[in-house]
Every structure is written in structure tokens, then in C-alpha cells.
Amino acid sequence: MKLERSCYCGEPREQDVGKELVLCGWVHSRRDHGGVIFVDLRDRSGIVQLVFNPEHSPQSHASAGALRNEYVLVARGQLRARSDDTVNPNMPTGKVELMVGELEILNASRPSPFAIDDEAVVTENTRLKFRYLDLRRPFMQKFLRLRHEVCRLSRELLNSEGFLEVETPMLTRSTPEGARDYLVPSRVNQGSFFALPQSPQLFKQLLMVSGLDRYYQIARCFRDEDLRADRQPEFTQIDLEMSFAGSEAVMNLVEGLLKKLFSELAGLEFNAAFPRMPYAEAMARFGSDRPDTRFGLELKDLTEVFAGSGFKVFKQAVDGGGAVKAIVVKGGAAMSRKEIDDLGSYASDFGAKGMAWIKINEGQWQSPIVKFFSDGEKQRLGEVLEIEDGDLVLFASDSEQVVHAVLGALRCKIAADRDLIDPSRFDFLWVTEFPMFEWNDDDKRYQALHHPFTALHPDDGIEVLDSLSGGPGTALRSDAYDIVLNGVELGGGSVRIHQPQLQRKVFEALGIGEEEAAEKFGFLVEALGYGAPPHAGLALGLDRLVAMLAGTDSIRDVIAFPKTQRAACLLTQAPSTVDAAQLRGLGLRVDL
């Protein structure tokens, strides 16, 4: 290439008219009029029109005849103003064009499988197979640039707050608890495996013991679990940890970071502090630990109303220690039987065995179940739910866990279906006071809700843990906090345990024996014994954060080379089998 680029395609403006410019890029489209040829030239900055006129430059006009979409070229020429009747008001460079005097075709291109523009509708399959072409599309470039800006601004703020960016190992040890690990065989130590980190959790705590005081990292994390639109096997966290700090310091810092990001990248200003809500309240009112507070449809507790009900389904739920709750859909009485049945079927996805309902039409209660209610129950129901004409009441009765899952999911679906969500709203929410432990019925033991290094809530001290024989129960609260935006968990963190004796007790409560704890986490407990400062931290899901800012539902859109739902890369065909020799070198044999 003998010509040197003078600026990007999207940059030339009226004030540049008369300048000699050299532009590089891809042919976005070509319009050959037999005589004059127009070429829209595209690069990451935008599009500008090139003009090839046979009278102006016969040579370059002749070469331009061979151009096709996505050919790569460099063109030299004079920028000139377009005549008033040929100005294109739809493009930023629409008042100018480059009169090409010299053209060099740098590379040809096969026809693209899909148009390189924002309008082309392409299946995910094709996009991922030709990801390098998908990423040529302006909206994808915008998303990647947005991601870059989030990283840049985060580093900027954290640097200015005295945080040090430190890298932690990608090859680390497998630990119990948590997600499945991605394993990496060791050639040097045959039969042993590294694990890719699920998060840098232990290392950042060790950095606090080291006295780094404030750490951050834009860290890749790996979890070998099944995928969703918002879950990839490898994903990125903005991970941070602070010494001599508690939950308030971390929440204030992260709140400031999020406010800055949304202000600078989305033009959204948040003046008030983000609201906070204890876990128990979130579950009771919204049926979720990451409630979307942009709309109502809150859960109403009817357990007491139906404690002795003649309606067996409700009575049995209450007698079994469960709950009866309901949501009220304003105007929902107009729904058809099929619409309600569809909601019931959706509810069953979340464990509901059935979904009772009442339509209130002109004072009449239409329902398959009302006949089982006593007059007192009906009256109490009307009071608690503040029923009005046109309402639809949807019930769930089961264990509290199922009731919350069902109604929590229903309220979100109904809000989306009925367009109850104001798309301009961004509701941040801190959820706090999580339970320390939850019961895992499959393994018949307690496990940490957050992770086993989480400190107890200050009001639920170590003495409470001590006083519980025969299991820690689920009433103990931890000093953990999640940041939620519009019902999406953007991140979470906690105050960590910094005393070795307490850490040992928590392992014990989790049923991790002394021996196992020593083997798997001994290095952490040992480190805590060498003057670990109190510390706390948090990690933000970068992919989800950028997706929210970009306004897309899928984090694949903000990851350059994502995996499919089956955890494969359609571009490189990873994962793949490997040579027998490669396996032998690692001391491995595939046994399928």
C-alpha cells in the first residue's frame, strides 16, 4: 500500500472541502451508472461517498468497475462539496464526497453471506459462524466500543480511588462448593489438574492479607454450567476488594462507579442513593432476590386468610408449612380463558401444581374456586387485595419457595406481556441481609448462599452461630449485598471473614470436615492467621452491565466471540478432540 491514510471515512465535513484526502475502508455499496460510479466506503467510524468519474480519472474509474461489496481499498482524491440537490441529509458526511483520482484495490472479497448493516436480519447461527463479518456491522462495533468505554471509565475511577490492578492466576486449583470447574490437565504433574477460576475470590482476599489495601481486576471467570441468554461459560467481572472497609464503603464506591458509567455512557443521572431492600422483603413483596421494581404486581400474603379454609388446596399448603399468596392484575379480568390457561402453564414451569384465579367483572367474582370460600374468607380476601372491578387475581399455594418462584415469574411475564414496564426507567436496587446458608436437599446439607468466605451480618454474630447445634438453619443473615438493575443481578459482594477461627466454624457449619477444609482451603485459613485485615469487596458482571447499557437482551451481543448455548464456538469449532499423542503426553485416556 503506497498511500497513507489521512483520516477515517466518517470524519470529512464541509470545512474539509478542498483538502486532498486518502481514505481506506470496505466497499459498503457500489452504484454504477455506466458513466459515473459511486462507492460508499465504510470503516469503523462511518461511511463516506467516493465518486469515480471517467472524465476526471479514466484509470481509477476503470478500476472501480471491478469493485464489489466488501472489497478493501485505499483512495486518494480531493474532497468536494456536494451540490444542494445531491446532499444526503441521512449521513453525517452527506454534504461532501471524495472525487477519486487514484484507487488501489487492497483486497477482494467473496460475497458476504449477509449484508453488513444494522438492518439485516440474520440468524444467530450464521452470525456466530461468520462472527468477523457480524462484528463489521455498525451496531456490533458500537457495542464493543461501549464495552471498551465501560472498562476505560471503570479503570479511571478505580485508579483515582487508589485501587491497584493486579492479575491473578488463570491456572489455579479446583475447590469444592460452587459451580463445576473447567479443568486443565498438568503435563508436568500427570494425573493432576488445574481449574480455571470461577472468580478470583481467594486470590483477592490473599492480596488483602498482603497489604495491597485496594485491588481491582477486569477478570475472566469460568463456570462449566448450562447456559442462558445472560450466562456464558467464560464471562468477565469487574472484581474489586478493599481492606479496612465494610459493606457501606463498598456499596458507596460501586454506586459511584455505576452512576458515573450511566451518566457518561447513557446520559442518565441518579441523584438519590440507590434504594436498599433486605432479602426477606424482596422475597415477600416480589418473590425474587433480584426484584424488578419498575412495576407493581406485588405479592400479597393470604396464608392467614386461608389457614382453615374449606378449599383443600389452600388449606393443605398452609398446614404443610407453606403459603398462599396472590397478585392482582389490574384490568386482567378482560383476559380470555386461553390467556389465563397460558399463564397457568407458565406457572407450572416454575413448580406450580395449579394456578387458581378470580376475575372480578361488574361486582361478580368469576372463578372455579370461589365456591369453596366462606363469606369471611371472601371479605378478608377483598380487603387484603384491595380488589376492584376489572381485576384478575392469580393465586399460588405451595411451599413458600415455590409460591415465590411462581408469582415472581408471573409478575414479570405479565408486566412484559401487558406492557407495564416504562422502558426509560433504570431501577437500581441494593438487596441486603441475605441468608447465610441455604439447605441443599440433593446433598442433604447446608451450603453458603453467597460463598463460604462471607461474614455474618453484624446483628447475627458469631455467638449465634455457636449457639446452634445440629445445623445452622437458614435464619442467620450474612453481610452480603447484591446490586440489581431492572430485575437483573448486576453484581454482588460481601464482607469477608478475616478471622481464621470463624472461617473454620463456617466450614464446619457447611459440613466441610476439618481435614477437607485443611486440604482445600488450608492456605486461606493459614493466611487469615497472619494478620488479615478486615476486608470486603464486590464483583460486577461486565457482560450484563454492558448489555443493559446497550439495550440488548443477550450478552452474546456484547462479547466479541461468544459460545453457543451448548458451550461451543461455531467459528473455531471449539471444543474439539485432540491427537492421541497429545493425550498420551498428558497421561490421559478418553473413556466414552
Partner RNA sequence: GGGGUCGUAGUUCAGCUGGUUAGAACGCCGGCCUGUCACGCCGGAGGUCGCGAGUUCGAGUCUCGUCGGCCCCGCCA
**CA 399 – CA 318 distance, rounded (Å):** 8
In terms of C-beta density within 10 A (0-12 exposed, 13-18 middle, 19 or more buried), how is residue 103 classed? buried
Check residue 110 and report its DSSP letter: P
Query: 89 to 108, contacts with RNA by CB under 7 A?
Result: 90-91, 94, 97
Nearest approach in angstroms of CB 103 to RNA is 16
Q: Which of 271, 328, 274 is nearest to 297 (CA)?
A: 328
We find the least distance from the C-beta atom of residue 257 to RNA, in angstroms, to be 20
Cell of 182: 473447567
User: Taking contact as CB under 7 A, which single stretch among the options 242-250, 251-259, 374-382, 563-571 is the one that binds RNA?
Assistant: 563-571
The least CB distance from residue 543 to RNA, in Å, is 12
**Minimal distance, residue 77 CB to RNA, in Å:** 12
Of the pair 300, 556, the CB lying nearest RNA is at: 556
What mask of x and - would describe binding to RNA in positions 304 to 343, judged by CB under 7 A?
----------------------------------------
Cell of 163: 485501587
Q: How far is the CB of 327 from RNA (least distance, A)?
A: 17
Nearer to RNA, 213 or 230 (CB): 230
Q: How far is the CB of 230 from RNA (least distance, A)?
A: 7
Query: Shortest gap between Cβ of 32 and RNA (angstroms)?
Result: 4
> Residue 237: which region, alpha, beta or left (left: phi > 0; alpha: psi -120 to 50)?
beta
The end-to-end CA distance of the chain, in Å, is 53
How near is the Cβ of 374 to RNA at its closest, in Å? Answer: 34
Q: Which is nearer to RNA, 309 or 454 (CB)?
A: 454
CB of 284 to RNA, least distance (A): 18
Closest by Cα among 585, 287, 529 to 412? 287
Convert residues 343-362 into a mask of x (bound to RNA by CB under 7 A) and - (unbound): ------xxx-----------
Distance (Å, rounded) from C-alpha 329 to C-alpha 509?
43
Output the CA torsion sign for 187, 191, 194, 195: positive
Q: Which of residues 451-470 bind RNA (CB under 7 A)?
A: 451-452
| Candidates 26-34, 203-211, 265-273, 357-365; binding stretch for RNA (CB under 7 A) | 26-34
Q: How far apart are CA 566 and CA 549, in angstroms?
A: 26
List Cβ neighbours of 556 (8 Å cut-off, separation of 6 or more). 124, 128, 229, 232, 562
Q: Which stretch binds RNA (CB under 7 A): 145-153, 157-165, 330-338, 548-556?
A: 548-556
Give the C-alpha distances (Å, rounded to integers) separating 354 from 285, 340, 403. Answer: 21, 12, 11
Smaller CB separation from RNA, 230 or 255: 230
Q: How would DSSP label each residue in 38-59? A: EEEEEETTEEEEEEE-TTT-HH
Regarding 212 and contact with RNA (CB under 7 A), the answer is no
- The distance from CA 139 to its chain's CA centroid, rounded to whole angstroms, is 19
Compute the least distance from the CB of residue 451 to RNA, in Å.
3
Among 1, 59, 62, 86, binds RNA (CB under 7 A): 86
Residues binding RNA: number (CB under 7 A)? 73
Among 82, 173, 220, 413, binds RNA (CB under 7 A): 82
Shortest separation between residue 80's beta carbon and RNA, angstroms: 8
Within positions 480 to 519, which residues make up the interface with RNA, using CB under 7 A?
A: none
Give 77's contacts (C-beta < 8 A, 6+ positions apart). Answer: 20, 21, 50, 98, 99, 100, 101, 102
Report in angstroms the alpha-carbon separations of 183 from 2, 173, 223, 227: 49, 9, 10, 18
Show Cβ contacts of residue 449 under 8 Å, excluding neighbours closer than 6 positions: 434, 435, 436, 437, 438, 478, 480
Pick the stretch among 34-42, 377-385, 515-523, 577-585 that binds RNA (CB under 7 A).
34-42
Q: Going residue by residue from 373 to 412, which x/- string records binding to RNA, judged by CB under 7 A? A: --------------------------------x---x---
Cβ atoms of 156 and 261 within 8 Å: the answer is no
C-beta of 129 vs 259, nearer to RNA: 129
Instruction: For the segment 215-254, give every residue that binds RNA (CB under 7 A).
Output: 223, 225-231
Cα dihedral across residues 247, 253, 258, 259: positive or negative: positive
C-alpha 22/C-alpha 76 separation (Å) is: 4
**Residues between 137 and 196 with contacts to RNA, criterion CB under 7 A:** 177-179
Question: Strands (DSSP E) along 496-582, which ranges?
Answer: 535-541
Cβ atoms of 74 and 1 closer than 8 Å? yes
Q: Is the separation of the CB atoms in 378 and 363 below 8 Å?
A: no
CB of 83 to RNA, least distance (A): 7
Asked if residues 120 and 17 have their Cβ atoms less than 8 Å apart, the reply is no
Q: Least Å distance between CB 419 and RNA?
A: 18
Q: Report how far residue 410's alpha carbon sits from residue 400's, in angstroms, rounded to the nearest whole number.
A: 15
Segment interacting with RNA (CB under 7 A) among 28-36, 145-153, 361-369, 419-427: 28-36
Binder among 442, 463, 466, 515 for RNA (CB under 7 A): 442
Subset of 108-127 contacting RNA (CB under 7 A): 111, 113-115, 120-126
Q: Choose between 97 and 377: whose C-beta lies nearer to RNA.
A: 97
* 56 to 75: interface string for RNA, x by CB under 7 A: ------------xx------
